[in-house]
Amino acid sequence: MSQRNPLSRMQNRLFAAGFALLASAPVGTQAGGLVLTGEIAFGGDDLAVVSGGDDLQAGQLLNLGIGYDFDLNPAKTLLLRAGINYKFDSVDASNGEADFDRWPLDLLVVSRQGSFALGAGITYHLSPTFEATISGSTSRVDFDDSLGFLLQAGYLVTPTMELGARVTLIEYESDSLLVLTNGSITNKVDGDSFGIYATVGF
């Protein structure tokens, strides 16, 4: 069994507490609006490869979320976006299947200048879980909740719709050992990803 890094665990708890505080009571903000987010992402370590050639990577695939934008200034060019998402991917083969899912909490500061928007913030992934069933035998790895960072750049197609690109930087760690498709045995998995996203505000 691997031993967790106490400093890393403390940092995760501090950022989780900070997220909860900012998301529930943003000081000095004005009413904003509900926002829906969809993202297609790619990247990260290969967790599973099936005979058909498809693979399951730790950074992909679909990320769907709901959140709220809080205006930080009267001009509404600076906002705080807090949201919860469900990120998942799965692959199927003739002899089995595999899937990886988690619940990201995102907290971003977004600056809008004209039709362009730049954002940066943190993401905290709850309950990352990898499960594979091969020839009737099921194995499961429950990763620790993980802290990561977000960078994104978007374009406002309309005043309420934004399209853009996003980079997620994150690593997943578990008490259990996992054999990756490259043959390495580890308890840490690279979940970094690059994605294309769309948001719609209400």
Q: Which tens digit of pLDDT belongs to each residue from 158-179?
A: 989 999 999 999 999 998 887 7
Q: What is the mean pLDDT of residues 44-71?
A: 86
Percent of all residues in the chain with a pLDDT value above 90, rounded to a whole number: 60
State the pTM of this model: 0.84
Model confidence at 39, pLDDT cuts 50, 70, 90, reads: very high
Q: Which tens digit of pLDDT belongs to each residue from 80-132?
A: 999 999 999 998 877 788 899 999 999 999 999 999 999 999 999 999 999 98
Percent of all residues in the chain with a pLDDT value above 70, rounded to a whole number: 82
Model confidence at 136, pLDDT cuts 50, 70, 90, reads: confident
Q: All domains of the chain, ordered by start, with CATH?
A: 6-201 (2.40.160.20)
Per-residue burial over 75-89, b if 16 or more Cβ lie within 10 Å, else e, is: eeeebbbbbebebbb
